[in-house]
Amino acid sequence: MNNFTFFTEFILLGLSADTHVQTLLFVLFLGIYLLTLMGNLVMILVIRGDSHLHIPMYFFLGHLSFLDICFSSVTMPKMLQNFLSEKKSISVWGCITQSFFFLLSGCAEASLLSAMAYDRYAAVCYPLLYTMVMNRSLCIVMVSAAWVMGFLNSLVNNLFIHKLHFCGSNVISHFCCELPSLFPLSCTDPTANKFLLSGSSAFLGLLTLPLILFSYSRIISAILNIRSSEGQAKAFSTCSSHLTVVLLFYGTALFRYISPASGSVLERVVSIQYSVITSLVNPLIYSLKNQEVKAALQRLLRQ
């Protein structure tokens, strides 16, 4: 520990210093967390329990729901605890552990959304060959690759954190230990760490975004070639839910990791969007816009 830091804990400023506001925020985020857990668990149970949903699209969706549970559980329990605590502290190793799993979950979700975009491309452009193109082996490889990419990206960035020395202020202007929020507290020059994080994020983007853009360019082209408006609407409905999730997640995450860390309230709000709100709305988006999921849920409730 001596060659790593000069203190043993960080202080998380959170979202507000007002006691009454913190109480309201505790109630709000407790409700969000419980709804996130319930919504994603129900989605997993419905997908696993209904044989009609044992197809590639729902295979990916089940893993997305599991990732959303992991993503929100990395930060929410500690955030809720700090809302009710006078001393809003987290140990140094606890902070590093949280940053590791936060980055792992975020990168894995970005990679999985890319795989889901390719799945939608196969469903719209090659409907008759869909089950052959998206065979189970390919689905397992794509999901495994998403987890491996998330793990390696997080491991490399968090290993290099050990080269930094933290002294002086130990106050993090954030509600969780996200890597960009730790760099301003370093006594040593964090330029290499910033470059590594930006480079690894850009590399991940170069691997995932082109696949999403390619998939949706082909999807849009295929939809425009459909002559009937009813056919166009049906084709678009198969990928509108996923496109909504991609825009919500990628839009805010890219803003957070491309822009320099300033500790502003806007940064915290943006982080809440992609790490908390997205995990809450994903099961709602996929269930409300998907007739198959709603039918499966009705069958499950009847049973």
The stretch 140-160 carries a mean pLDDT of 92
The stretch 260-287 carries a mean pLDDT of 76
**Mind listing the pLDDT tens digit for each residue in 176-232?**
888 888 888 888 888 888 888 888 888 888 888 888 888 888 888 888 777 777 767
CA atoms of 90 and 114, how far apart (whole Å): 34
Q: Do the domain assignments include residue 73? A: yes
Q: Which of 221-225, 278-282, 287-291 has the highest mean pLDDT?
A: 278-282
Q: Do the domain assignments include residue 205? A: yes
Count of domains for the chain: 1
Between 233 and 76, residue with greater pLDDT: 76
Q: How confident is the model at residue 1 (pLDDT cuts 50, 70, 90)?
A: very low
The stretch 237-254 carries a mean pLDDT of 74
pLDDT at 130 over 60: yes
Q: Do the domain assignments include residue 258? A: yes
168-177, 197-206, 251-260, 271-280: least confidently modelled range: 251-260
What are the backbone dihedrals phi and psi of residue 91, each rounded to the nearest 5 degrees, phi first? -65, 160
Q: Do the domain assignments include residue 225? A: yes
Q: Do the domain assignments include residue 134? A: yes
Of the chain, the end-to-end C-alpha distance in Å amounts to 55
For residues 39 and 283, the answer to whether their CB atoms sit within 8 Å is yes
Q: Do the domain assignments include residue 3? A: no
Q: Do the domain assignments include residue 303? A: no
CA atoms of 241 and 290, how far apart (whole Å): 8
For residue 87, the domain's CATH number is 1.20.1070.10
For residues 139 and 54, the answer to whether their CB atoms sit within 8 Å is no
Q: What is the pTM of this model?
A: 0.85
Say what the pLDDT of residue 278 is: 84
pLDDT at 266 over 90: no
Q: How confident is the model at residue 235 (pLDDT cuts 50, 70, 90)?
A: low
CA atoms of 282 and 257, how far apart (whole Å): 22
pLDDT at 157 over 60: yes
Between 230 and 120, residue with greater pLDDT: 120
Q: Do the domain assignments include residue 165? A: yes
Q: Where in the sequence is the domain holding 35, given as residue range(s)? A: 9-298
